[in-house]
Amino acid sequence: MEALEVILTRRSVRKYTEEQVDDIYIQQLIEAAVSAPSAGNQQPWHFIVIDDRRILDKIPSFHPHAKMLKKAQKAILVCGDTNLERYKGYWMLDCSAATQNILLAARALGLGACWLGVYPREERIIKLRELLGVPRNVIPFSLISLGYPAEEQKKVEREYKARIHYNKW
């Protein structure tokens, strides 16, 4: 699929088939993530791949918008390591770019994915830290549910013309 088509047709996919997602795809998704830009090239990210059914099933008990994990094949938790942060206040922007790259790569690979917000919700950060044994210097940022899509992804029309400003507001 051509790059622009991937971008225009990426949608949040919350319904998945039973088909397993091979680990080779996880490697490709994470390679896409670390290809994202980061402030001063600081690359402050870590990734926790979750494929343990008990863990996937537990997350919706404290994350109110994560029901799809019960049917997801895997999930990736994108985290920011504050020890790797050289440019203060930028780690979350870097992790956002990495997250978006995973979503786009998933679309390109024929997978379905959804960004589940974690940061800055303190209670979700604390629970994920506990559940996955994440160290204090590492902040869970976003969770991405993954599976083969059981719903269609297509381009949506969004109004943007009124949001474009040339040379001044």
Ligand X SMILES: Cc1cc2nc3c(=O)[nH]c(=O)nc-3n(C[C@H](O)[C@H](O)[C@H](O)COP(=O)(O)O)c2cc1C
Binding residues for ligand X, rule: CB under 6 A, are 11-12, 14, 65, 114-117
CB of 68 vs ligand X, minimal distance in Å: 7
Q: Which is nearer to ligand X, 12 or 42 (CB)?
A: 12
Q: Which is nearer to ligand X, 67 or 86 (CB)?
A: 67
CB of 147 vs ligand X, minimal distance in Å: 13
Look up residue 19 and give its amino acid: E
Q: Reading across the β-sheet that carries 45-50, which strands appear in turn?
A: 45-50, 74-81, 138-147, 112-117
- The stretches of 10-137 forming alpha helices (DSSP H) are 23-33, 53-58, 91-108, 122-132
CB of 15 vs ligand X, minimal distance in Å: 11
CB of 168 vs ligand X, minimal distance in Å: 29
Q: Tell me the residue nearest to ligand X as measured from the CB.
A: 117
Q: Which is nearer to ligand X, 65 or 86 (CB)?
A: 65
d(CA 29, CA 104): 9
Phi, psi angle pair for 22, to nearest 5°: -70, 150
